[in-house]
Structure 1
Amino acid sequence: MRTNAAMRRLLGSAAFAADQPTVPELEQDTLDAGWTVEPSGALLLVAHRPKRVHDIPAEALGEGEYEINDVHVSLDDLGREKIEFLPRAASRGLYFARRMLGAARGLPGSETLLAAVAIHVDVDDEDFALQGATIRFFSRRGSYPRWFDELEAYTREAIAVLDLSDPTT
Protein backbone atom coordinates (compact mmCIF):
# COMPACT_ATOMS: atom_id res chain seq x y z
CA MET A 1 0.00 0.00 0.00
CA ARG A 2 1.28 3.40 -0.98
CA THR A 3 0.14 6.39 1.10
CA ASN A 4 0.66 10.11 1.37
CA ALA A 5 1.68 11.93 4.56
CA ALA A 6 -1.93 12.74 5.52
CA MET A 7 -2.93 9.06 5.32
CA ARG A 8 0.16 7.97 7.25
CA ARG A 9 -0.86 10.30 10.09
CA LEU A 10 -4.31 8.71 10.21
CA LEU A 11 -2.92 5.17 10.04
CA GLY A 12 -0.61 5.92 12.97
CA SER A 13 -3.36 7.06 15.32
CA ALA A 14 -4.67 5.03 18.23
CA ALA A 15 -8.24 5.54 16.95
CA PHE A 16 -7.30 3.84 13.66
CA ALA A 17 -5.65 0.93 15.46
CA ALA A 18 -8.66 0.45 17.76
CA ASP A 19 -11.37 0.80 15.10
CA GLN A 20 -13.54 -2.16 14.14
CA PRO A 21 -14.68 -0.97 10.71
CA THR A 22 -18.16 -1.58 9.41
CA VAL A 23 -19.77 -0.84 6.07
CA PRO A 24 -23.08 1.04 5.79
CA GLU A 25 -26.01 -0.86 4.27
CA LEU A 26 -25.86 0.75 0.82
CA GLU A 27 -22.16 0.01 0.46
CA GLN A 28 -22.73 -3.51 1.82
CA ASP A 29 -25.01 -4.01 -1.18
CA THR A 30 -22.08 -3.06 -3.43
CA LEU A 31 -19.88 -5.60 -1.64
CA ASP A 32 -22.54 -8.29 -1.93
CA ALA A 33 -23.13 -7.63 -5.65
CA GLY A 34 -19.42 -8.04 -6.45
CA TRP A 35 -17.74 -7.69 -9.82
CA THR A 36 -18.49 -8.45 -13.44
CA VAL A 37 -16.10 -8.81 -16.35
CA GLU A 38 -17.38 -7.07 -19.46
CA PRO A 39 -16.82 -8.54 -22.94
CA SER A 40 -14.11 -5.89 -23.39
CA GLY A 41 -12.35 -7.27 -20.29
CA ALA A 42 -13.26 -4.29 -18.11
CA LEU A 43 -13.70 -5.09 -14.42
CA LEU A 44 -16.82 -3.32 -13.20
CA LEU A 45 -18.64 -3.21 -9.90
CA VAL A 46 -22.04 -4.78 -10.55
CA ALA A 47 -23.83 -2.22 -8.35
CA HIS A 48 -22.21 0.70 -10.22
CA ARG A 49 -22.41 -0.68 -13.75
CA PRO A 50 -24.60 1.51 -15.95
CA LYS A 51 -27.55 -0.26 -17.56
CA ARG A 52 -26.19 0.58 -20.99
CA VAL A 53 -22.44 0.19 -20.97
CA HIS A 54 -20.66 0.86 -24.20
CA ASP A 55 -17.64 -1.33 -24.70
CA ILE A 56 -14.61 0.25 -23.12
CA PRO A 57 -11.83 -0.03 -25.70
CA ALA A 58 -8.76 -2.05 -24.71
CA GLU A 59 -6.57 1.04 -25.00
CA ALA A 60 -8.68 2.79 -22.31
CA LEU A 61 -9.67 -0.02 -19.92
CA GLY A 62 -8.26 1.51 -16.74
CA GLU A 63 -9.69 4.92 -17.53
CA GLY A 64 -13.16 3.50 -18.20
CA GLU A 65 -13.07 1.42 -15.02
CA TYR A 66 -12.02 4.48 -13.00
CA GLU A 67 -15.04 6.45 -14.25
CA ILE A 68 -17.55 3.69 -13.45
CA ASN A 69 -16.06 2.12 -10.30
CA ASP A 70 -16.45 5.28 -8.22
CA VAL A 71 -17.81 4.48 -4.76
CA HIS A 72 -18.85 6.99 -2.11
CA VAL A 73 -18.80 5.33 1.31
CA SER A 74 -20.92 7.17 3.85
CA LEU A 75 -19.32 8.38 7.06
CA ASP A 76 -22.49 9.89 8.51
CA ASP A 77 -22.63 7.51 11.47
CA LEU A 78 -19.06 8.19 12.64
CA GLY A 79 -19.72 11.45 14.54
CA ARG A 80 -17.73 14.18 12.78
CA GLU A 81 -17.07 16.23 15.90
CA LYS A 82 -14.97 13.54 17.55
CA ILE A 83 -11.18 13.42 17.32
CA GLU A 84 -11.48 9.82 16.11
CA PHE A 85 -13.52 10.75 13.04
CA LEU A 86 -10.75 10.96 10.42
CA PRO A 87 -8.85 7.82 11.54
CA ARG A 88 -12.14 5.89 11.61
CA ALA A 89 -13.02 7.27 8.17
CA ALA A 90 -9.69 5.96 6.85
CA SER A 91 -10.32 2.62 8.52
CA ARG A 92 -13.73 2.29 6.86
CA GLY A 93 -12.46 3.32 3.43
CA LEU A 94 -9.52 0.91 3.55
CA TYR A 95 -11.72 -1.90 4.86
CA PHE A 96 -14.15 -1.47 1.97
CA ALA A 97 -11.32 -1.29 -0.58
CA ARG A 98 -9.66 -4.43 0.79
CA ARG A 99 -12.92 -6.37 0.73
CA MET A 100 -13.65 -5.38 -2.87
CA LEU A 101 -10.10 -6.18 -3.97
CA GLY A 102 -10.39 -9.58 -2.29
CA ALA A 103 -13.65 -10.24 -4.13
CA ALA A 104 -11.94 -9.48 -7.46
CA ARG A 105 -9.05 -11.87 -6.88
CA GLY A 106 -8.82 -14.43 -9.67
CA LEU A 107 -10.93 -12.52 -12.18
CA PRO A 108 -9.30 -11.85 -15.56
CA GLY A 109 -7.37 -8.57 -15.30
CA SER A 110 -7.51 -8.42 -11.51
CA GLU A 111 -3.76 -8.86 -11.19
CA THR A 112 -3.38 -5.18 -12.15
CA LEU A 113 -6.40 -3.90 -10.19
CA LEU A 114 -5.85 -0.89 -7.92
CA ALA A 115 -8.03 0.78 -5.31
CA ALA A 116 -7.50 4.47 -4.58
CA VAL A 117 -8.94 5.50 -1.20
CA ALA A 118 -9.40 9.21 -0.51
CA ILE A 119 -10.50 10.83 2.74
CA HIS A 120 -11.04 14.61 2.78
CA VAL A 121 -8.95 15.97 5.68
CA ASP A 122 -9.36 19.74 5.26
CA VAL A 123 -11.55 20.33 8.34
CA ASP A 124 -11.72 24.08 7.61
CA ASP A 125 -13.45 23.46 4.27
CA GLU A 126 -17.11 24.50 4.45
CA ASP A 127 -18.05 21.24 2.69
CA PHE A 128 -16.11 19.06 5.12
CA ALA A 129 -19.26 17.69 6.78
CA LEU A 130 -20.58 16.54 3.40
CA GLN A 131 -17.58 14.41 2.57
CA GLY A 132 -17.42 10.65 2.67
CA ALA A 133 -14.73 8.20 1.77
CA THR A 134 -14.18 7.94 -1.98
CA ILE A 135 -12.87 4.67 -3.36
CA ARG A 136 -12.13 4.20 -7.04
CA PHE A 137 -11.12 0.92 -8.61
CA PHE A 138 -9.23 0.63 -11.89
CA SER A 139 -6.70 -1.63 -13.54
CA ARG A 140 -3.35 -0.73 -15.02
CA ARG A 141 -4.46 -1.78 -18.50
CA GLY A 142 -4.60 0.56 -21.44
CA SER A 143 -4.73 4.19 -20.38
CA TYR A 144 -5.40 4.64 -16.69
CA PRO A 145 -5.16 7.48 -14.17
CA ARG A 146 -1.54 8.27 -13.42
CA TRP A 147 -2.19 11.12 -11.02
CA PHE A 148 -1.80 8.66 -8.15
CA ASP A 149 1.87 8.20 -9.07
CA GLU A 150 2.80 11.17 -6.84
CA LEU A 151 0.65 10.96 -3.71
CA GLU A 152 2.44 13.70 -1.77
CA ALA A 153 0.91 16.26 -4.14
CA TYR A 154 -2.38 15.71 -2.31
CA THR A 155 -2.52 17.83 0.84
CA ARG A 156 -6.28 18.12 1.44
CA GLU A 157 -6.93 14.41 1.14
CA ALA A 158 -5.47 11.39 2.84
CA ILE A 159 -4.75 8.98 -0.02
CA ALA A 160 -3.89 5.29 -0.12
CA VAL A 161 -3.44 3.15 -3.22
CA LEU A 162 -3.81 -0.60 -2.72
CA ASP A 163 -3.43 -3.61 -4.98
CA LEU A 164 -3.88 -7.35 -4.60
CA SER A 165 -0.49 -7.73 -2.91
CA ASP A 166 -1.99 -5.91 0.10
CA PRO A 167 -3.91 -7.94 2.69
CA THR A 168 -7.54 -8.12 1.59
CA THR A 169 -9.19 -9.09 4.87
Structure 2
Amino acid sequence: MNPNDTPLRDGNRDRLMGLLTERAAKTLLFYFTELNPTLMQWLEYYMQQNPIPREGSWDDVSGENFLRKLLSMPVAQTQWDFYGRDKMFSKSSPLGVDPRNIAQRIMEIRSQIAKEWIEELKQVSEENAILMRETVTTSFVLANLAVVDPSQAHDGTHPELVHPDFAKDDE
Protein backbone atom coordinates (compact mmCIF):
# COMPACT_ATOMS: atom_id res chain seq x y z
CA MET A 1 0.00 0.00 0.00
CA ASN A 2 1.23 3.47 -0.87
CA PRO A 3 1.81 5.71 2.20
CA ASN A 4 0.35 8.65 0.26
CA ASP A 5 -3.01 6.92 -0.15
CA THR A 6 -5.81 8.41 1.89
CA PRO A 7 -9.55 7.74 1.78
CA LEU A 8 -10.08 11.10 0.05
CA ARG A 9 -7.39 10.39 -2.52
CA ASP A 10 -8.80 6.91 -3.17
CA GLY A 11 -12.31 8.34 -3.52
CA ASN A 12 -11.09 11.00 -5.94
CA ARG A 13 -9.25 8.41 -8.01
CA ASP A 14 -12.36 6.21 -8.12
CA ARG A 15 -14.52 9.15 -9.18
CA LEU A 16 -11.97 10.16 -11.81
CA MET A 17 -12.07 6.63 -13.26
CA GLY A 18 -15.86 6.87 -13.31
CA LEU A 19 -15.71 10.21 -15.13
CA LEU A 20 -13.26 8.77 -17.66
CA THR A 21 -15.50 5.74 -18.23
CA GLU A 22 -18.61 7.89 -18.55
CA ARG A 23 -16.90 10.33 -20.96
CA ALA A 24 -15.59 7.42 -23.05
CA ALA A 25 -19.07 5.85 -23.25
CA LYS A 26 -20.59 9.20 -24.27
CA THR A 27 -17.87 9.66 -26.89
CA LEU A 28 -18.65 6.24 -28.35
CA LEU A 29 -22.35 7.07 -28.20
CA PHE A 30 -21.65 10.20 -30.26
CA TYR A 31 -19.68 8.17 -32.82
CA PHE A 32 -22.59 5.75 -33.08
CA THR A 33 -24.98 8.68 -33.59
CA GLU A 34 -23.10 9.51 -36.75
CA LEU A 35 -22.24 6.02 -37.95
CA ASN A 36 -24.73 3.50 -36.58
CA PRO A 37 -28.01 4.76 -35.08
CA THR A 38 -29.05 1.23 -34.11
CA LEU A 39 -25.96 0.73 -31.93
CA MET A 40 -26.38 4.28 -30.64
CA GLN A 41 -29.89 3.46 -29.49
CA TRP A 42 -28.74 0.20 -27.87
CA LEU A 43 -25.84 1.87 -26.00
CA GLU A 44 -28.01 4.79 -24.93
CA TYR A 45 -30.53 2.36 -23.42
CA TYR A 46 -27.72 0.44 -21.69
CA MET A 47 -26.30 3.67 -20.22
CA GLN A 48 -29.73 4.68 -18.92
CA GLN A 49 -30.23 1.28 -17.29
CA ASN A 50 -26.68 1.12 -15.86
CA PRO A 51 -25.60 4.65 -14.91
CA ILE A 52 -22.25 5.25 -13.25
CA PRO A 53 -23.17 6.71 -9.85
CA ARG A 54 -21.39 9.59 -8.11
CA GLU A 55 -21.46 7.77 -4.76
CA GLY A 56 -21.25 4.14 -3.73
CA SER A 57 -18.77 1.30 -3.84
CA TRP A 58 -15.51 1.50 -5.77
CA ASP A 59 -16.81 -0.91 -8.41
CA ASP A 60 -19.84 1.30 -9.04
CA VAL A 61 -18.25 4.77 -8.83
CA SER A 62 -15.21 3.85 -10.95
CA GLY A 63 -17.36 2.44 -13.76
CA GLU A 64 -15.94 -1.07 -13.32
CA ASN A 65 -19.38 -2.65 -12.86
CA PHE A 66 -20.59 -0.76 -15.94
CA LEU A 67 -17.78 -2.34 -17.99
CA ARG A 68 -17.90 -5.78 -16.32
CA LYS A 69 -21.56 -6.15 -17.17
CA LEU A 70 -20.89 -5.25 -20.81
CA LEU A 71 -17.97 -7.69 -20.93
CA SER A 72 -20.10 -10.54 -19.57
CA MET A 73 -23.19 -10.00 -21.76
CA PRO A 74 -23.84 -12.32 -24.71
CA VAL A 75 -24.21 -11.09 -28.26
CA ALA A 76 -27.72 -9.71 -28.69
CA GLN A 77 -29.92 -8.61 -31.55
CA THR A 78 -31.40 -5.16 -31.72
CA GLN A 79 -33.28 -3.14 -34.26
CA TRP A 80 -33.66 0.58 -34.72
CA ASP A 81 -36.87 1.72 -33.05
CA PHE A 82 -38.67 4.34 -35.08
CA TYR A 83 -40.63 5.60 -32.06
CA GLY A 84 -44.24 5.56 -33.10
CA ARG A 85 -43.82 4.97 -36.81
CA ASP A 86 -45.65 2.07 -38.35
CA LYS A 87 -43.41 -1.02 -38.55
CA MET A 88 -44.48 -1.35 -42.18
CA PHE A 89 -42.23 1.63 -42.96
CA SER A 90 -39.26 0.26 -41.06
CA LYS A 91 -36.49 -0.72 -43.45
CA SER A 92 -33.88 -1.66 -40.90
CA SER A 93 -33.10 -5.28 -40.27
CA PRO A 94 -32.02 -6.70 -36.91
CA LEU A 95 -28.41 -6.07 -36.04
CA GLY A 96 -26.14 -8.17 -33.84
CA VAL A 97 -24.67 -6.22 -30.93
CA ASP A 98 -21.50 -7.48 -29.28
CA PRO A 99 -21.42 -5.85 -25.82
CA ARG A 100 -17.89 -7.18 -25.24
CA ASN A 101 -16.67 -5.30 -28.30
CA ILE A 102 -18.45 -2.15 -27.14
CA ALA A 103 -16.78 -2.46 -23.71
CA GLN A 104 -13.37 -2.85 -25.35
CA ARG A 105 -13.98 0.25 -27.45
CA ILE A 106 -15.03 2.20 -24.36
CA MET A 107 -11.84 1.10 -22.56
CA GLU A 108 -9.69 2.14 -25.54
CA ILE A 109 -11.36 5.55 -25.65
CA ARG A 110 -11.04 5.85 -21.85
CA SER A 111 -7.31 5.18 -22.12
CA GLN A 112 -6.91 7.81 -24.84
CA ILE A 113 -8.88 10.42 -22.88
CA ALA A 114 -6.72 9.68 -19.81
CA LYS A 115 -3.56 10.33 -21.85
CA GLU A 116 -5.01 13.63 -23.09
CA TRP A 117 -5.94 14.67 -19.53
CA ILE A 118 -2.43 13.85 -18.31
CA GLU A 119 -0.98 16.16 -20.97
CA GLU A 120 -3.42 18.90 -19.98
CA LEU A 121 -2.64 18.49 -16.28
CA LYS A 122 1.08 18.83 -16.95
CA GLN A 123 0.36 22.44 -17.90
CA VAL A 124 -1.10 23.33 -14.49
CA SER A 125 2.30 24.32 -13.05
CA GLU A 126 3.00 26.56 -16.02
CA GLU A 127 -0.44 28.16 -15.80
CA ASN A 128 0.07 28.74 -12.06
CA ALA A 129 3.43 30.43 -12.76
CA ILE A 130 1.84 32.69 -15.38
CA LEU A 131 -0.93 33.67 -12.97
CA MET A 132 1.57 34.44 -10.20
CA ARG A 133 3.75 36.46 -12.59
CA GLU A 134 0.74 38.51 -13.72
CA THR A 135 -0.32 39.10 -10.12
CA VAL A 136 3.16 40.20 -9.01
CA THR A 137 3.51 42.46 -12.05
CA THR A 138 0.14 44.06 -11.30
CA SER A 139 1.10 44.61 -7.66
CA PHE A 140 4.32 46.39 -8.71
CA VAL A 141 2.35 48.66 -11.02
CA LEU A 142 -0.08 49.49 -8.17
CA ALA A 143 2.86 50.11 -5.81
CA ASN A 144 4.16 52.84 -8.14
CA LEU A 145 1.03 54.98 -7.79
CA ALA A 146 1.54 58.26 -5.97
CA VAL A 147 0.24 58.39 -2.42
CA VAL A 148 -1.84 61.41 -1.45
CA ASP A 149 -1.08 63.15 1.81
CA PRO A 150 -4.16 62.87 4.07
CA SER A 151 -3.78 66.57 4.94
CA GLN A 152 -4.81 67.36 1.36
CA ALA A 153 -8.27 65.95 1.96
CA HIS A 154 -10.98 68.62 1.80
CA ASP A 155 -14.33 68.59 3.56
CA GLY A 156 -13.93 65.06 4.94
CA THR A 157 -13.17 63.62 1.51
CA HIS A 158 -11.18 60.44 1.62
CA PRO A 159 -7.54 61.03 0.49
CA GLU A 160 -7.72 58.52 -2.38
CA LEU A 161 -10.63 60.46 -3.82
CA VAL A 162 -8.51 63.60 -4.12
CA HIS A 163 -5.61 61.98 -5.90
CA PRO A 164 -3.75 64.64 -7.93
CA ASP A 165 -4.62 62.88 -11.17
CA PHE A 166 -8.34 63.05 -10.37
CA ALA A 167 -8.69 66.16 -8.21
CA LYS A 168 -10.89 69.00 -9.44
CA ASP A 169 -9.29 72.36 -9.89
CA ASP A 170 -10.79 74.61 -7.23
CA GLU A 171 -8.96 77.67 -8.55
TM-score calculated relative to the size of structure 2: 0.24
Higher fraction of strand: 1
Q: TM-score scaled to structure 1, two decimals?
A: 0.24
CA radius of gyration, larger in: 2
Higher helix share: 2
